[in-house]
Amino acid sequence: ETGVTQTPRHLVMGMTNKKSLKCEQHLGHNAMYWYKQSAKKPLELMFVYNFKEQTENNSVPSRFSPECPNSSHLFLHLHTLQPEDSALYLCASSQEGTSGSYEQYFGPGTRLTVT
Amino acid sequence: AQSVTQPDIHITVSEGASLELRCNYSYGATPYLFWYVQSPGQGLQLLLKYFSGDTLVQGIKGFEAEFKRSQSSFNLRKPSVHWSDAAEYFCAVVGTGGFKTIFGAGTRLFVKA
């Protein structure tokens, strides 16, 4: 596998379910991100991880819970979601800092539908 | 605060015609600027970037962009559009200290035959 992978690609879940999205980067980057992309809305940055430490949480509801066990893997745990949480969830990684290029590499996304 | 504005929500061009997508940014220092493209149902892909040096940068798929400090702009251009260029295009700037890329709202490009 190369680049950034995300699983699953599609997910349908009820409002009472618990599920997790997985992201893996094979690029050796030091930063990983979760974005939410809804129809007709700008890309929303949700979480930023720098060397496995969360450095940003953009006022995301607690029903979204990120986890970064190492610098290559990122999870987004979902529970008791609302229909308005239906969106494309994108994971990205980048190399930041003095040796970084700052360009973001995106996975293909998980299309989430909450019923 | 840093921000990126893409004034055109969508643009339609004929195949073979030239294209210019506009981007204006707000940033206190010399910015790192990017253009990304997103095809339907896919993640974003980097087209080109500007860090310093020559203000006209070349990217993939025949795209180029010009950095104009006096206008705080970084417009994307292509001399001849192909039907496969139909997608959404995002301008972005790296925020202070890195670790946060700020994206514009995107411009959706439609290509007509």
pLDDT tens per residue, range A5-41: 999 999 999 988 899 999 999 999 999 999 999 987 8
Q: Do A43 and A33 contact (CB within 8 A), yes or no?
A: no
* Interchain contact, B104 vs A42, CB within 8 Å: yes
State which amino acid sits at residue B66: E
Kindly state whether B105 is in contact with chain A, defined as any CB-CB distance less than 8 angstroms. Answer: yes
Strand B107-112 and strand B10-14: the pairing is parallel
pLDDT tens per residue, range B6-19: 999 999 999 999 99
β-sheet bridge partners, residue B112: B14
Is residue A57 predicted with pLDDT exceeding 90? no
Kindly state whether B49 is in contact with chain A, defined as any CB-CB distance less than 8 angstroms. Answer: yes
The pLDDT, as a whole number, for residue B99 is: 66
Backbone angles phi, psi at A25, to 5 degrees: -115, 135
The model's confidence at residue A115, banded by pLDDT at 50, 70 and 90, is very high
DSSP state of B40: T
User: What percent of chain A has pLDDT above 90?
Assistant: 68
The model's confidence at residue B97, banded by pLDDT at 50, 70 and 90, is low
User: What percent of chain B has pLDDT above 90?
Assistant: 76
A19 contacts: CB under 8 Å, gap ≥ 6:
A11, A13, A77, A78
Mean pLDDT of chain B: 92
Contacts of A102 in chain B (CB under 8 A): 32, 34, 49, 94, 98, 101
CB neighbour class for B71 (10 Å; exposed up to 12, middle 13-18, buried from 19): exposed
Q: Do A66 and A54 contact (CB within 8 A), yes or no?
A: yes
Q: Do A110 and A10 contact (CB within 8 A), yes or no?
A: yes
Is residue A71 predicted with pLDDT exceeding 70? yes
Is residue B107 predicted with pLDDT exceeding 80? yes
| Alpha carbon distance B32, B103 (integer Å) | 12
Q: Do A60 and A76 contact (CB within 8 A), yes or no?
A: no
The pLDDT, as a whole number, for residue A98 is: 72
Is residue A1 predicted with pLDDT exceeding 70? no
Is residue B109 predicted with pLDDT exceeding 90? yes
pLDDT tens per residue, range A81-98: 999 999 999 999 998 877
Q: Which of B44, B46, B98 sits opposite A96 (nearest CB)?
A: B98
The pLDDT, as a whole number, for residue A91 is: 97
Kindly state whether A56 is in contact with chain B, defined as any CB-CB distance less than 8 angstroms. Answer: yes
Interface of B with A in 58-87 (CB under 8 A): none
| Alpha carbon distance B89, B102 (integer Å) | 14
* Interchain contact, A43 vs B46, CB within 8 Å: no
Q: Do A33 and A57 contact (CB within 8 A), yes or no?
A: no
pLDDT tens per residue, range B21-61: 999 998 877 789 999 999 988 899 999 999 888 899 999 99
